[in-house]
Amino acid sequence: MAEFVPVSSERQRLTFGRARDLVEIPDMIEVQRDSYNWFYQEDAAPEARVPQGLQELLHEVFPIESYDGSFALEFVRYLLDSPSTEEEEARQRDLTWARPIRATIRLVNRKSKEMKEEEIFLGDFPLMTGRGTFIINGTERVVVNQLARSAGVYFTKDEQVPGQETYSAKIIPDRGAWLEFSLTPGDLISVNIDNRKKIPATLLLKIFGASTNEGILDLFDARQVEKDLTEDDVKGMLSAESVIDQDGETILPRNRSITKDHLEKLWSMGRTKVLVWNTDPSIGVTLEKDGAANADEAMVELFRKLRPNEPARIENAREYVHSLFFDPRRYNLGRVGRYKMNRRLGLDISEEVRLLQKEDLVQIIKGIIELRNPEKMDDDIDHLGNRRVRSVGELLQNQIRIGLLRMERIAKERMTTIPDLGAAMARDLINVRPIAASLREFFGSGQLSQFMDQTNPLAEVTHRRRLSALGPGGLSRERAGFEARDVHYTHYGRVCPIETPEGPNIGLVTSLATYARLNEYGFLITPRRKVENGRVTGEIVFLSADEEDEIYLGMANTPVDENGIITDEECFTRFHGDVVTVPREEVGYLDVSPKQIVSASTALIPFLEHDDANRALMGSNMQRQAVPLIAPEAPVVGTGVEHRIAKDSGSCVVALKDGVVEYVDSTRIETRHGVESHIYSLVKFRRSNQGTVIHQKPIVRKGDVVSKGQIIADGQASEGGELALGRNVLVAFMPWEGFNFEDAILLSERLVKEDFYSSIHIEEYEIEARDTKLGPEEITRDIPNVGEDMLKNLDEDGVVRVGAEVNAGDILVGKVTPKGESDQTPEEKLLRAIFGEKAREVRDTSLKVPHGARGKIVAVKQMTRADSPDALSPGVNKVVKIYVAQLRKITVGDKMAGRHGNKGVVSRILPVEDMPYLPDGTPVDVVLNPLGVPSRMNLGQVLETIMGFVAVQNGWMVATPVFEGAKEKEIFDLLSALSKEKYPNLTSDGMITLYDGRTGTAFEKKVTVGCMYMLKLIHLVDDKIHARSIGPYSLITQQPLGGKAQFGGQRFGEMEVWALEGYGAANILQEMLTVKSDDIRGRLKTYEKIVKGQNLTKPGVPESFRVLVKELQGLGLDVEVKYSDGQIGELLMDEDEDDAPSGRYSPSRERSSFDEHEKKEKKEALEPDEDVADSMLEETLFGESLPEGMSIIEEGDEN
């Protein structure tokens, strides 16, 4: 039965979960932290570090020996220094938060035994923040975990030709050549090395130490047996004796497969028995194909096959084979590869042996032969026993290895080029630039280093727990088939079957399940409760996918008595992806929690078990898109996981030690424990990567006693220490005048007035002052042709002041750029020489608020070359960043959603008095379409609504955990109790009579009303709405650009043309395709006529037609224009009466690309300031024709 459980010091929830969590959910970001610590071994003393991560890497590359072997560079130890900047400083100054690493390197002269040791700076290695992220160039990034195929051996059956199966085994090493063994229907076992030529498998065995045919047969436990000479018995078997007839001719050679010809000759001799090897015929066929007598011949044969254009000498062959299989730098199974080989082949070879062994090859060949048995299963590559997680430490190790190998090559070259190597030091030989380059490549542009999703704390947690099958060494979107994307039975408790993107990455990008961890080899493990003879022990065991393959696994809610005995004689269990019923004595383990199957994001959905999986997927993904609100509220109907996610996200402040709160204000909290005090600084109004706000507010008071791990300050999307992504609102499921058609949402004006869904967004605008060919750009308040009213918000340096309210078009930073001057006459040169430099011509290239933006300046950041030379690019003298905060209330066009995939767009905001209201006069906040429920099959939203109504009326907070939440009966019992006390006309299924707010009459049918948790998503209409009159045009086609970012127009496509043609709207259609698009002359004349207030001229020839003509001429076709008067010439344009006498127009001016500043300047020339707008309509300005030397500037024309 439900009971109240405290979730924080001031809050408790009525919890319906029947099974209390036996194992606490592990730290949500331990995957990132543990892997990072594995790489650096920060806590270990330099001499005590084990060979893993960076230590293993340096031992792998060093010693670096000169080509003659007389000198060597040896690695001694590495030291981790403190970072040169603080985390916050790196963020402010756009730096990478990193720490220097120094290595002690010893240069050894092997002839004189002289040693020289010195410390060498290896580079600045990025540091992980306490939240599991990296700060790269001032922005927070996350390294995503990669789920890739593990090194090891994989057996497969393949039926390429119907009825003929090919059996193969592939050895995938950590580094080096891939080997593929295959057994064809012709009984030949061959090996393919790196997809090149095939060779007999026995040839490889000889190279690995089985030097003779008899030696190979011994490896396969072959014994000599005498067999009767019947065709069925001996055909295809390997002879163990040579048979010679009376003439001395060899009828049957030794170690040869017996064929029908051999049998007939033996029968003719009168033989009845023959001595054979009792081994599989395929061994005989392969030995027969293999002509090498010993290891040397085998090496030469291999060399000849793989390097056909090089002389096949034994020295070359030995060197080549050594580099291919026996050089640990070039071939390495890796620790995981050796572990997997041992498990799959039943071997017991030390994990330190990372090279292929003869025993491996023998067991693989035996395994292929065994695959012929129909009962023998091949390997499933999608099984999580065969896929492992590469976390940040291992990914970093693989990347740095590339840099270290480049460094090694340079060091070896320098050892040969430096004349006096004896006098050299280690620093003269080692170049660390390749290491820095590899780090920069990995963090800056690597596929797995991603710009962190910081929309809200849940998005941050999920991003750090993401698993990607993409990236280097993984799958590609194009090659990944259905099997790689599908849910596998081994995902249970390890990978969430719900949370994945909806687009082309579906199934390739997934999320860790709540309880999942990694073992020492990188395989996903999940906790289980051990069961012995039907009794549940207290032992919790973490199992990998292949460890639990042959075990019957029971569910978490299997009934157990107080002594731990399973009460049911027969239990439902999982076995190989099937649900089977077995006696309780056969159950091996039970799950620890029903929520261990899903990820953190999915575990937040109440009544998940009543939702269709596709909608649950949308619900999981949309919670990550919820915008932090200025007054967030924890859900009335939660699942009990909210507190844990808020704590682990890093957005809240958590007490590091027990103590008493001594001081609290909005920026810091001070606690004291005995004589020791702690100061916690709070983050205020910081911009996230997505432009939402990161903000912390204290939730403790002076004198409060706090314990270690307690949340003492809420983050931007938490309330009372619980995750709070939205608000609890009163919803009604009913149609309302068609305004909730197609999932649209009707809102009450109360939600706008009371800032229910108001959020703060901070936008960053940046401008650089550079050196140009004509001189440096200058940030200044002195801007040409700009009135004082435009400068009112700027300080004396030309930078906007903090606190100013700005709108679209306002200047944020004044900047002028030198303009090219025309050639001067000798007189002007003389005057300048006499009177000195005159004021140079400059143009306005100021930073302005873009179209559609507005807000308040909350911060200004300035960086000059003198202050921070590292942070500025070459040629940049100053950078100014302006942060504009905007309060966005919910408005028509914003996207909203619940937690069950029920999403919609706000269609109308009604006055409170017009909203439908309850019998007690309470108006509802949101009206949703009831048709959004049945077809979507997400009934969780209805149960949440009813449970929410009961909870709100009783003043409760409720937790209904996934897969073990409140049952329907429990909800309806609570509902009937409520109807008796407060709402007599409330039906047993949660429906009530509503009244129309406009007329006061009751609606005909009863309506489901209740409290639902709804989110405002980041798809805000303010970011999407866009309009344009004139703007930039494409260089070639001269048509307007597309998209809001380019200030583009709306595409009037083929189908839109058909629509206007259907209505016969010829003039609109002609305008759309000419003057509003790419008729250059026509649009210039149209603008001119509008300014003059005259009638518009006829449109001319679109530029796209000229492009087509030029294209055809480029293909060598002679395209000419023939006019009605019979003349042939270039394209003409209709001239109007204002122009010069009739002539043929051909655009002679060349169009070229412009830089952004020129584009802006010309656009501003087309959009006159308000103070001159009226005068432009006067004839005194333009008259009937333009004055000589004056023209209308058109966007896209250079001159």
Which pLDDT belongs to residue 377?
Answer: 87
Which pLDDT belongs to residue 1030?
Answer: 84
> How far apart are the C-alpha atoms of 896 and 893, rounded to whole Å?
9
Strand runs labelled E in 35-85: 64-65, 71-80
Q: What are the C-alpha distances in Å from 480 to residues 379, 432, 1044?
A: 18, 38, 34
Amino acid at 1113: Q
* Helix ranges, 418-544 (H): 426-429, 433-445, 457-464, 482-485
Which pLDDT belongs to residue 212?
Answer: 75
**Residue 845 contacts residue 815 (beta carbons within 8 Å):** yes
Main-chain dihedrals φ then ψ at residue 73, nearest 5 degrees = -100, 125
CATH-assigned architecture of domain 157-222+285-381: Alpha-Beta Complex (3.90)
Q: What are 403's two structure tokens?
A: 């840099």
| DSSP structure class, residue 157 | E
| DSSP structure class, residue 175 | B
**Residue 910 contacts residue 746 (beta carbons within 8 Å):** yes
> How far apart are the C-alpha atoms of 718 and 723, rounded to whole Å?
4
Helix 53-61 × helix 392-417 angle, to 10° = 20
- This prediction's pTM: 0.88
Beta bridge partners, 102, equal 79, 121
**Residue 29 contacts residue 37 (beta carbons within 8 Å):** no
Token pair 């995503």 in the structure block, residue: 144
Question: Per 3-state DSSP, what percentage of the chain is helix, strand, and coil (rounded to 5)?
Answer: 30, 25, 45
With a CB cutoff of 8 Å and minimum separation 6, the contacts of 99 are 80, 81, 82, 83, 84, 124, 125, 127
Burial letters 577-592, b for 16+ CB under 10 A, else e: eeeeeeebebbbbbbb
**Residue 243 contacts residue 250 (beta carbons within 8 Å):** yes
In DSSP notation, 1039-1054 reads: PBPBSTTTT-B----H
Which pLDDT belongs to residue 793?
Answer: 93
Residue 741: strand, helix, or coil: helix
Superfamily of domain 1026-1182: RNA polymerase alpha subunit dimerisation domain (3.90.1800.10)
Residue 350: in which H helix or E strand, if any?
A: none
Token pair 């009990």 in the structure block, residue: 640
Q: How many CB atoms lie within 10 A of CB 163?
A: 6
Which pLDDT belongs to residue 600?
Answer: 96
Chain-centroid distance of CA 17 in Å reads 34
Q: Which residues of the chain have pLDDT under 70?
A: 1, 19-20, 221-242, 244-248, 251-262, 264-268, 270, 272, 275-278, 821-823, 836-840, 1131-1199
Beta bridge partners, 653, equal 713
Residue 496: strand, helix, or coil: coil
With a CB cutoff of 8 Å and minimum separation 6, the contacts of 178 are 170, 171, 172, 193, 194, 195
With a CB cutoff of 8 Å and minimum separation 6, the contacts of 592 are 21, 22, 23, 515, 527, 528, 529, 540, 556
Residue 1139: strand, helix, or coil: coil
Residue 1061: strand, helix, or coil: helix
In DSSP notation, 1104-1136 reads: HHHHHHHHHHHTT----EE-TTS-EESPP----
**Residue 34 contacts residue 518 (beta carbons within 8 Å):** yes
| CATH, range 759-888 | 2.40.50.150
Q: What are 220's two structure tokens?
A: 């396969």
With a CB cutoff of 8 Å and minimum separation 6, the contacts of 835 are none
| DSSP structure class, residue 310 | S
Which pLDDT belongs to residue 1175?
Answer: 34
> How far apart are the C-alpha atoms of 8 and 17, rounded to whole Å?
18
Sorted by where each begins, the domain ranges of the chain are 30-148+389-471, 157-222+285-381, 223-278, 653-714, 722-756+892-1021, 759-888, 1026-1182
Beta bridge partners, 587, equal 552
Q: How many CB atoms lie within 10 A of CB 927?
A: 27
> How far apart are the C-alpha atoms of 971 and 130, rounded to whole Å?
42
Q: Does domain 223-278 have CATH number 3.90.105.10?
A: yes
> How far apart are the C-alpha atoms of 861 and 813, rounded to whole Å?
12
> How far apart are the C-alpha atoms of 1075 and 1133, rounded to whole Å?
13
**Residue 1048 contacts residue 1031 (beta carbons within 8 Å):** yes
Which pLDDT belongs to residue 196?
Answer: 85
Main-chain dihedrals φ then ψ at residue 574, nearest 5 degrees = -105, 140
Q: Is 921 left (phi over 0), alpha (psi -120 to 50) or beta?
A: left
Chain-centroid distance of CA 488 in Å reads 22
In DSSP notation, 961-1026 reads: -TTSS--HHHHHHHHHHHHHHT-TT--TTSEE--B-TTT-PBPSS-EEEEEEEEEEBS--HHHH--
In DSSP notation, 658-701 reads: -EEEEEE-SSEEEEEETTEEEEEEPP-SEEPTTSBEE--EE---
**Residue 76 contacts residue 106 (beta carbons within 8 Å):** yes
Q: What are the C-alpha distances in Å from 671 to residues 234, 664, 681, 718, 1060?
A: 88, 9, 12, 22, 72
**Residue 266 contacts residue 168 (beta carbons within 8 Å):** no
Length of the chain equals: 1199
Q: What are 340's two structure tokens?
A: 């997997």
- Asked whether the domain spanning 759-888 has the same topology as the one spanning 653-714, the reply is yes
| CATH, range 30-148+389-471 | 3.90.1100.10
Strand runs labelled E in 497-604: 509-511, 517-518, 524-532, 535-544, 552-554, 570-575, 578-583, 587-591
**Residue 546 contacts residue 540 (beta carbons within 8 Å):** no
Residue 576: in which H helix or E strand, if any?
A: none
Which pLDDT belongs to residue 54?
Answer: 94
Amino acid at 869: P
CATH-assigned architecture of domain 653-714: Beta Barrel (2.40)
Q: What are the C-alpha distances in Å from 488 to residues 153, 333, 510, 924, 1184?
A: 20, 27, 12, 44, 78
Chain-centroid distance of CA 1093 in Å reads 55
Question: Do β-strands 145-149 and 466-468 pair in parallel, antiparallel, or remain unpaired?
Answer: parallel
> How far apart are the C-alpha atoms of 939 and 901, rounded to whole Å?
11
> How far apart are the C-alpha atoms of 1032 and 1164, rounded to whole Å?
12
Q: How many CB atoms lie within 10 A of CB 1069?
A: 17
Beta bridge partners, 273, equal 228
With a CB cutoff of 8 Å and minimum separation 6, the contacts of 1141 are none
Residue 940: in which H helix or E strand, if any?
A: helix 940-954
Closest to 548 in 3D by CA, of 595, 587, 512, 513: 587
| CATH, range 722-756+892-1021 | 2.40.270.10
